[in-house]
């Protein structure tokens, strides 16, 4: 039961990073992206290349988590969940506090479940 919860939690973190990839790489300079991030068209157009780069990194995190899930590798899941946590804490401290809740907290919960299920 705990292993299933851990799997679901890690999968949800991975899926959220796929969502971040889509938002940052493809929707950033569109009305939905501007609305979510509260940007003007000029701001989104200017920052789109940076957002696309950030989205690509989120895709790598999602791929790493998927790799960990598919291989049932606790070290891989741990590494990529810790990467998500570090990125979420950094983003929460430097960009927007809500990143702590949206990114770091789910990864912390997933990591705790992975180790509780061992």
pTM score: 0.94
Q: Check residue 17 and give its pLDDT.
A: 98
- DSSP class of 45: H
For the chain, the domain total comes to 1
Q: How far apart are CA 92 and CA 81, in angstroms?
A: 16
Number of residues that this document lists for the chain: 118
The boundaries of the domain holding residue 84 are 2-116
Q: How far apart are CA 93 and CA 97, in angstroms?
A: 6
Q: Check residue 21 and give its pLDDT.
A: 98
Tens digit of pLDDT at every position of the chain (118 positions) = 999 999 999 999 999 999 999 999 999 999 999 999 999 999 999 999 999 999 999 999 999 999 999 999 999 999 999 999 999 999 999 999 999 999 999 999 999 999 999 9
Residues 6+ apart with CB under 8 A from 46: none
The torsion angle over the Cα atoms of residues 10, 70, 60 and 40, rounded to 10 degrees, is -50
């Amino acid at each position: 039961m705990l292993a299933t919860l851990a799997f679901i939690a890690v999968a949800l973190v991975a899926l959220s990073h796929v969502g971040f990839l889509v938002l940052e790489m493809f929707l950033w300079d569109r009305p939905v992206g501007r609305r979510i991030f509260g940007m003007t068209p000029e701001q989104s157009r200017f920052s789109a290349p940076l957002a696309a780069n950030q989205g690509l990194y989120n895709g790598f995190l999602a791929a790493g988590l998927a790799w960990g899930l598919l291989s049932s590798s606790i070290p891989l899941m741990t590494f990529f969940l810790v990467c998500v946590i570090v990125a979420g804490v950094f983003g929460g401290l430097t960009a927007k506090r809500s990143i702590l809740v949206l990114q770091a907290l789910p990864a912390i919960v997933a990591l705790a479940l992975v180790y509780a299920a061992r």
